Amino acid sequence: MKKRNCFIGQSGGPTTAINASLAGIIAECIDTQQFAHVYGMINGVKGLLENKYMDLLEIFKSTEDLNHLKHSPAMYLGSCRYKLPEFQEDPQTYQLLFQLFNELEITDFYYIGGNDSMDTVAKLSTYAKTIDSHIRFIGIPKTIDNDLMGTDHTPGLGSAAKYVATSMLEIAYDSSIYKLNAVTIVEIMGRNAGWLTAASALARTAYSDAPDLIYLPEVPFSKKAFLEDIHAVFKKKRSVIIAVSEGIRNENGEFLDSDSKYAKRDAFGHILHSGTGKVLESMVYQEFKCKVRSIELNVLQRCAMHIASAVDLDESFEIGRYAVKTSMAGETSVMMVFNRTSNNPYTIECDFKDVTSIANLEQRIPVEWINEDHNDITQDLYNYLYPLIQGEIAITYENGVPQYANINHLKNN
């Protein structure tokens, strides 16, 4: 039987768990003994257009190697934010890619990423059909935003949620030491979907009820109600801790932190939000004239391997394995998904769905999972998030710091 050859790419923003999916794909390719070459595209499809790729079977040869990769943050293969054009508008780009696929006798293509990455998978698989190509195109989800449709949750959310909850708990302890009125505002990633901000509720323990207030982008944000909420909390305690999504909007649908006319945007045209915490900090200080601090967790939410969720990494590894099984079974133009089969005990199964029905859509928190006052989450949302942050991993240390995978191949790209 003729051996298979595949390409694997990573795209979009990194997560703590995305390398686990890469490791799962490589592991399954090795175990099948049917792959001659497992190529990794450096910096995604954009790097592939520049002929940048490496043979991963020459690097990862043992379970120990793959575990090392699985427990390394960010993206081993590097990333890109490249919007693949429609093939009717730019056929040369597709011809260049498929010429390379044909030269390397590619049989399978795996792309790990978020919504825009699934758009790439959909476009490549659609073009493949027009030229009668038999290459299998498979999308593997990842995003801390958890905004991909069709799957119970996305790999990467659990570890980011665990970091947010842990940081919130530690902030709460830090804020408890002084006998003075204070407000701490923690700004958390989430452009349109508030899943990660909602995960701050997982910090609540028998000794700490922080965050006291949670504001999500799925419902309108009222400045008047916000200040009234803080007044109400101050009646019970001296330290108020607030979790807020970077993407909250006022009643008119306008972002708090930027005028859309002048806002910075990423390669896909999405507004780059940061500064919501600072806007609220000024607002709170003017109202209460007390100690106010805003904290932006920023990229730490997506790269904190030292506090990764074991459930998240294990699931990410398995969905990578299942992606290989799916393409070898003849499927193409699909995204791998999780189906939750039980919440208590928590169990999931891997499956797949048509990627063209998923790409460019957005999964947001159901409004019924947000309380009536729009300043907290319901128990249903807590129960949904809770299983995803369970378990810890063993990190290898050298000279007192974590020892992660060697990424020298990314330095000059």
The residues carrying an active-site annotation are: 145
Structure tokens at 199: 């995960």
For residues 57, 58, 63, 68, the Cα torsion angle rounded to the nearest 10 degrees is: -110
3-state secondary structure of 410: helix
Indicate the burial class of 346 (C-beta count within 10 angstroms; 0-12, 13-18, 19 or more): middle
Is 96 in contact with 49 (CB distance < 8 Å)?
yes
CA distances from 261 to 249, 255, 275, 354 (A): 15, 11, 16, 36
Question: What CA–CA distance (Å, rounded) separates 149 from 141?
Answer: 10
Indicate the burial class of 99 (C-beta count within 10 angstroms; 0-12, 13-18, 19 or more): exposed
Q: Which of 116, 112, 198, 108 is nearest to 155 (CA)?
A: 112
Question: What CA–CA distance (Å, rounded) separates 142 from 11?
Answer: 9
CA distances from 36 to 63, 105, 153, 257, 316 (A): 18, 10, 33, 51, 24
**Cα–Cα–Cα angle for 212, 216, 221, nearest 5°?**
90
Alpha helices in 329-413 (DSSP H): 379-385
CA distances from 369 to 136, 195, 228, 378, 387 (A): 38, 11, 22, 5, 17
Structure tokens at 194: 């508030």
